[in-house]
Structure 1
Amino acid sequence: KPGKKDEDKNKTDRLGHGRAIPIKQGFLYKKGTNSINREWKKKYVVLLDDGRLIYHPSLHDYENDSHGKEIILQRTTIKIPGSNKPRIALRSASNDNKLNDLTSSDGAIIISNSSVTP
């Protein structure tokens, strides 16, 4: 006879898995990287505790889990225009691969080839 633990596992398997719960989410403006169209566009952004920043064209696209682009922050160089000293602190992930700290100052933040402003 299967035990309660087996029943719970089967129930979980039938339900499937949802997506990760973000530690921060909201709207940001991203500067386009195309040389023809370098204007700021509003994006819906989520920051996950494993260090991923995922952005979508709209909240509707996020809710439908479509058209998302991902930046892995642990593999990213962050620069602030006009500053020699970094004002961004992205500490290394802890032993459980969770993001420890992410802080920023006022102004634009350039992440790799993407620009995001607070």
Structure 2
Amino acid sequence: MSKDVEKCKHIEAYIDKHITEELTLDGIADKFGISKYCLCHLFKKNMGYTVFQYIRRKRLYLVKKYYAPGMNLINVSRLVGYKSYSNFYRDYYKAFGRPPSESIESIDICDE
């Protein structure tokens, strides 16, 4: 495994550990002692997706994991780190093609 890929794996592990918290490119870059530009370039080049694509995918997986019938979707979206329900709704709809209220119980989200 190359040094760059290894660093990206450490970044992924950090994101996984802090997924329910507010994550910013500046904060992640500072944690690893690199610039925001370097973080974005390094991650996309070595992982094939952006930092925010990774964060979104992980949060959507957690929504399915934490959701139980009858739960308020706004509260669930906040539990997994979304500050805004509209951002959650947009990400969910973009990923699955249906609104969460109509499909969250039937969506198959794989843990990657």
Q: TM-score range by the shorter chain?
A: under 0.3
- Bigger fraction of residues in helix: 2
TM-score, normalisation: structure 2:
0.25
TM-score, normalisation: structure 1:
0.24
If you compute each CA radius of gyration, which structure gives the higher value, 1 or 2? 1
| Higher relative contact order (Cα pairs below 8 Å, separated by 6+ residues) | 2
- Bigger fraction of residues in strand: 1
